[in-house]
Amino acid sequence: MPAAAGATPPPLVLANHGLRHSGGIERYLLTLVDALHARAIRPTVVARRFERSLPEYGWVDPVAVPTFGLPAALRDRWFSRRLVALKRRHGWYPVIGLNQTRASDIAICGSTHPGWLAASGRAPDWRDRMASALEHDHFNGAAVVIAHSRLMARQLVQHHGVAADRIEVLHPPVDTRRFHPVSAEQRRALRRALGLPPDRLVFLLASTGHARKGLDLLVRALGHSTEPVLLVVAGRPVEVRAPNLRWLGYRSDIEDVYRAVDCTVMASRFEPFGLVGVESVLCGTPLVGARGMGCLEVIGGDALLPFDAGDAASLDAAIAQALGRWRAGRLALADPRAALRYDPSVDAHLDALLGWVARLRASAALP
């Protein structure tokens, strides 16, 4: 039914596991909320839990769908069922689903469960089959699926049979006000503040899941090397020990860590996108990255030193290339934005996402 003239526009509705500091998709939600707030748009956010101390909590209309007490395998299904009921009751349209739910009209694809299983070599159990089935409905029930990389677009077709014409690739945004280069003098000061040696090529691994991020490969290649290298890890504590390995702890100033080191390294066995790569490049620090990761679709030129994660010799060659450039004083990036094949700004991403909201509302004759 067409909306009445002058009718109040329906709320912008976003659904996710939580509004909190956590994994990549939670971080993505916070980025969207920040950008919407800058435009004086107050979205409705439906989530299992909210971190009320965050400023973003005050910028949304929160709708909690608690799942406490439910078995872990049933929480996503319960959330989906409740969101479907809330959508029907309030007439919400379109719902932007960041997590797996049958209520999604615009489904965000930051990863796929079958793709993760295949990359990790795991045989699915009953919990995996339940998760994949709900994910299948999430993607196939939506009017459009926003894939955060071409890798995810291929997996949507391969694992979930999503029609290619219903998929739009929209690489995730990065806060370019936070991640940007600083002067060489400032880089040296940041390096001193972290206690990083000036006479070593310092590689950064930013990781909260060391097995998936390939820490074992990097310790083999760098931890015991006789070359002037140092591997520093920001994130979860490191249980292994090696002469050229150091843990920096959890960092809220990761942008300054990117600026202080010489290279960021990603040896992920499964990486649907990998914001770390783009963030590092935007700070003027090149990426030594495993081929097959989603972020390599948008990083090029001197910003990327690629290797094959399953080939130790390939990783050694990329490290040798980085050493050669470091010794020649040609490692830091002079023009980071020129190395990226897309506009990483939050505004560009939000414009595209809101364009889909407008098109779906227009098709439903909503204001």
Structural domains in the chain plus CATH codes: 13-173+345-363 (3.40.50.2000), 184-339 (3.40.50.2000)
Average pLDDT over residues 109-132: 91
Q: What stretches of the chain adopt beta strand conformation (E)?
A: 13-19, 44-50, 61-64, 95-97, 106-109, 144-147, 167-169, 201-207, 229-235, 245-249, 263-266, 287-290, 304-307
pLDDT of residue 321: 96
Give the pLDDT band (50/70/90) at residue 3.
Answer: very low
Q: What is the mean pLDDT of the chain?
A: 92
Question: Residue 147: pLDDT above 50?
Answer: yes
Q: Which of these ranges, 23-32, 49-58, 137-146, 259-268, has the smallest mean pLDDT?
A: 23-32
Question: Residue 4: pLDDT above 90?
Answer: no
- The total of other beta-carbon atoms located within 10 Å of residue 118's CB is 15
- The total of other beta-carbon atoms located within 10 Å of residue 328's CB is 8
Average pLDDT over residues 146-151: 96
In DSSP notation, 272-305 reads: SS-HHHHHHHHTT--EEEETT-GGGGSB-GGGEE
Question: Residue 2: pLDDT above 80?
Answer: no
Average pLDDT over residues 238-260: 91
Question: Residue 103: pLDDT above 90?
Answer: yes
pLDDT digit string, tens, across residues 198-229: 999 999 999 877 677 788 889 999 999 999 99
Percent of the chain whose pLDDT exceeds 90: 82
**Stated pTM of the model:** 0.89
Average pLDDT over residues 187-205: 96
Question: Residue 5: pLDDT above 70?
Answer: no
Is residue 19 within 8 A of residue 29, CB to CB? The reply is yes
Is residue 331 within 8 A of residue 325, CB to CB? The reply is yes
Phi/psi at 290 (5° precision) = -75, 130
pLDDT digit string, tens, across residues 164-174: 999 999 999 99
Contacts for 350 with CB less than 8 Å, ≥ 6 apart: 32, 35, 36, 39, 173
Q: For residues 283 and 333, what is the distance between their CA atoms, to the nearest angstrom?
A: 8
